[in-house]
Each structure stands twice: as structure tokens, then as C-alpha cells.
Structure 1
């Protein structure tokens, strides 16, 4: 499985629950997460997608920490199971 397979799976499943899963690119700022996910009721979060078994780079870890210090949720997924866990979390346990 490749990173793009995990990314496609995320996009499909976010759309299935009524959300949008947008490619997130920030010119001049490297290391940002791959996707921003927008859900009903104003909920949003970021997802960094990796090829199975791959880890965040030092820059990605730094940017993730910065985002989280600003109060944003950032998930990392490298397989469909982790995407399923994200979907379960945001649909069942995330406060409205």
C-alpha cells in the first residue's frame, strides 16, 4: 500500500460522513500536514499521511507541535486501520 492509497481512503471516508477532505498546501511553509478535514458543525482537523511504516520528519514533528500548541488537532495515519480510528474518533467521541 502506498501513501496515496491511504490518502484516497481518508478522502472517501471523510466525504462519506458528510465532510470535505482538502489538500492542504501552504506556500512558503514546509512541513504542514497533507490534508485539512472539514466536518459539519464547524469541526476541523489536519491529517499527515505517510506510507506504511514511515515516520514524520523532524520538520513535520515541529509543525505538528506548533499546530497543536495553537489548539488544532493533527492526526497521523499510515494505514487504513489508522484512518478508521480517526473516523471512529471524530464521529463517536469528539464533542459537538
Structure 2
């Protein structure tokens, strides 16, 4: 399975639960998470998507730490099953 397929599945599942999964690109800030997921009630989660068994790069982990240190939730998801768990917990 490719990362793109997991990302499309995430977008679909988030939409089914009334949320939006914005593509996150920040010029000059390489390594930011792939998506900003916003659920009703103002719940915001940053999501890094990976192909199965792939890990975030050092640069991505550094960006994740910056966001986490600011009180944000950052998750790494590498399967459709993890997307389903994400929806159960946050959706």
C-alpha cells in the first residue's frame, strides 16, 4: 500500500465524521506534517502519513517536537487500520 492511498482513506473517513483534512504545506518549513485534521468542536490534530512500516525523517520528527512542545497533537499514521483507530479516538 502506498502513502497516497492511506492519505485518501484518511480524507474520506474524516469527511464522513464531519471533519476536514487540510493538506499542510508551509514554505520555508520543510518537514511539517502532511495534514491538519479539524473535527467539529474545534479538535485539531496534525497527521504525518507514511507508507506501511516507514518512519518519519529526523527533520519531520524535529517539526513534530516543535508542534508537540506548543501543546499540539501530532500523530504518525501508516495504515488504514491506524486511520480507523484515529477516527475512533478523535472523530
TM-score by length of 2: 0.97
Aligned Cα root-mean-square deviation (Å):
0.6
Misfit runs of 4+, over 4 Å:
none
Q: Secondary structure at the match of 1:75?
A: strand
Q: List gaps (5 residues or longer) in structure 1.
A: 92-96
Partner of 1:33: 33
Structure with greater helix percent: 1
- How many correspondences in the alignment? 91
In the TM superposition, residue 13 of structure 1 has moved relative to its aligned partner by: 0.3
In the TM superposition, residue 85 of structure 1 has moved relative to its aligned partner by: 1.0
Partner of 2:42: 42
TM-score by length of 1: 0.92
Q: List gaps (5 residues or longer) in structure 2.
A: none
